[in-house]
Amino acid sequence: MKIKDFLKKHWIGYNPEEVDDFLDELTKCYSDIYKKVNESEKEVEDMKTKLEHYTKIEATLQNTLVFAQSAADETKNAAQKQAEQIIKEAEGNARQLSSNLDSEIAEKKKELEDVKKQFDVYKAKMESLLISQLELIKEMSKND
């Protein structure tokens, strides 16, 4: 809006038509500004509402991320503990199997020693039998 200068009539004052026109223009400008202010206030309220909405979403996302991180950490820790337990069980099973194999090896060695002793006894008996048979044959040869 521009600055308005009113022309004075000689002794009566300002021209009423000019003043009325100015007041009409002023009223129109005021109405336009009032509408813009109302629209701006409504936009500000809308923006505040949206800001609150997005702030709530942000808080929810942050809580979700914290929860997800916590869940991931718990899952990771549980998996680590389970892996350690599996390793302990496997080591225990391996020790047990190793112990069983050591026992079987010792048992087989003992069986081998027993078979060797039996073979030595059998060999000695066979040798004794053959010697006695040889002597019997020699005696039979002498008697003929």
What pTM, to 2 d.p., does this model score? 0.46
Is residue 141 very low, low, confident or very high in pLDDT (cuts 50, 70, 90)? confident
Task: Report how far residue 5's alpha carbon sits from residue 18's, in angstroms, rounded to the nearest whole number.
Answer: 9
Neighbours of 36 (CB within 10 A): 10
Average pLDDT over residues 27-51: 95
